[in-house]
Amino acid sequence: MSITAIGFAGVLLLLVMIFLRVPIAIALAASGFLGYAAIDGWTPALKMGGLVPYQMASAYSLSVIPLFILMGAVASRANMAKELFQACNAVFSGIRGALANASIGACTLFGAICGSSIATAATFSRVAIPEMRRHGYDPAFAGGTVASAGTLSVLVPPSVLTAIYSIVAEVSLVKLYAAAFIPGFVLAGLYVLTVWTVAWLKPKWIPRVPSMAWSERLRASIGMWKLGLLFFIAVFGIYFGWFSPTEAAAVAAFLAIVIGFATRAMTIRDLIDCMLETVYTTASILLVVAGAFIFARFIVLTQFPNELTKWAHLSELSPFWILMAVMALYIVLGTFLDEVSTILITVPITLPLVNAIGYDGVWFGIFVTVMCTIGLITPPTGMTVFVIQAQHPEIPVMRIYGGTLPFLAADFVLVALLILFPAMALWLPSIVGG
């Protein structure tokens, strides 16, 4: 059996195990280990298996993950979401689609701090959807808005998913966070435009809501300061070079705890719950990272990425069509795989290919992250859609998918913009250090 055939067999074994409900971490480790043994023999494979877990115990860069998760857990627990929604509502008040746009604005800022699309969608499905329905919004559109806006959390910095990409692709996290800034806010802007377009085409779905008085607006806007401060410390602290990503995560998490206690929004019991939630979530994610480290060693041994690059050169396909193929791969994977696993499994294979056709690793990180946001709202396993449906069982899941369709179009517009204007992602990293 040739090495390439073993490579294919290893990937096939991985996919079969994933479909058969084997935890993705274990599927990655087992297929990686068996593939490695098939190429290099049992003794080297066993030695490799013994050493990889230690790699996890000596990887400082991984420490950014639990600290950002903790910051998000504390922000969620300390009721910062409701105040933020009211503040964003005050900003958009008087404009048609104000509540939907307030949801998008609030999800952008809250998602940046929280870092979890599921938690963001869950939080705002409780805060925003009842408010939208109370004012006569179409339930499917209301659900679709929050499900889509929740996905912004994986793109807008500081994102845990971007941190995971930086580890697996060995790209500077500072540059990635800088690269994600403009596309993140452009996507939020495209979502706002989507709401206005839908309001124009289907006015019955989005009734006009009476505007708030200016004094009321000002009072509500002040409620934004907590998350605004955390965002400033976590993002601009890194951009200005005050902190490393790990330090920024720790300082922002600490600040979130101080704000939580100072405003009496949190108790010691809440803090312990947040920390428990953080270690559980971190362990689930880092277990997949450990499995991916084993699988990556196997992939390196197969020379799979090199063969793929050679094939791409020989086939004389234009970079555009190769990129379209990569995009199709992520759309397919996004329908059944979660975003962390998608990145950990594919990036060791796709990044060398994309590098070979002239695209930068930082740019590709943003491209992959945007593709993951699409996967979060596409059937059959659109995770944020499921979260909305779990909390609003009266809205059928297919109708929520229908509500996300206009926003899905906005996602693809961003992908097109990224391909046409790579500087959109690469300009800021060129002026930020790291």
Binding residues for another protein, rule: CB under 8 A, are 17-26, 29-30, 33, 46-47, 49-54, 56-60, 62-63, 66-67, 70, 118-119, 122, 243, 246-247, 250-251, 253-254, 272, 275-288, 336-338, 340-341, 380-381, 386-387, 390
Q: Which DSSP state fits 338?
A: -
| DSSP states of 58-122 | T-GGGGHHHHHHHHHHHHHHTTHHHHHHHHHHHHHTTSTTHHHHHHHHHHHHHHHHH--HHHHHH
Which of 342, 392, 371 shows the shortest CA–CA distance to 122? 392
Which distant-in-sequence residues (6+ apart) come within 8 Å of 380 by Cβ?
A: 335, 336
Q: In this structure, which amino acid lies at residue 140?
A: A
Tell me how many degrees the CA angle 340-344-346 measures, rounded to the nearest 5.
115
Considering beta carbons, is residue 57 or 420 the nearer one to another protein? 57
Give the nearest distance from C-beta 12 to another protein in angstroms.
15
Give the nearest distance from C-beta 282 to another protein in angstroms.
6
Alpha carbons 330 and 249: distance in angstroms, whole number: 29
CA distances from 231 to 78, 109, 115 (A): 15, 7, 11
Element (H, E) at 81: helix 80-92
The residue to which tokens 């408010």 are assigned: 131
Considering beta carbons, is residue 232 or 321 the nearer one to another protein? 232
Considering beta carbons, is residue 283 or 416 the nearer one to another protein? 283
Give the nearest distance from C-beta 323 to another protein in angstroms.
26
